[in-house]
Amino acid sequence: MTKADIVNEISRTTGIEKSVILQTVEAFTEEVKKSLSKDENVYLRGFGSFIVKERAAKTARNISKNTTITIPAHKIPAFKPSKQFVGIIKK
């Protein structure tokens, strides 16, 4: 399902104009991005959490050049579904 599909489905079920829903979805995603960029997690009860995970530094190998490189520690965004959400999917 794409963003356009989500907008169309919400518009169909609620009767709200697609342009309003698109603005809302865009604003939501921007707020999530802003919060995560400030190391603030976003919690949506009953749905899940958008969190920032820290990855430790590690060594890796470039097998084509036969060299070892160090990948520095870094942060990545992640999503952790709620127990209710997982329960719905497992059915």
Identify the pLDDT of residue 78.
97
pLDDT at residue 55, as a whole number: 94
User: Has residue 91 got a pLDDT over 90?
Assistant: no
- For the stretch 41-51, pLDDT in tens is 999 999 999 99
Quote the crossing angle between the two packed helices 3-14 and 18-37, to the nearest 10°: 130
Q: Kindly state the tokens that stand for 47.
A: 């749905």
Does the global pTM surpass 0.85?
no
The domain limits of the chain are 3-90
Residue 77: per-residue pLDDT: 97
Per the CATH hierarchy, to which homologous superfamily does domain 3-90 belong?
IHF-like DNA-binding proteins (4.10.520.10)
Instruction: Compute CA distances 47 → 15, 28, 43, 86, whole Å.
Output: 23, 14, 8, 9
Mean pLDDT of the chain: 95
Question: 63 falls in which pLDDT band (50, 70, 90)?
Answer: confident
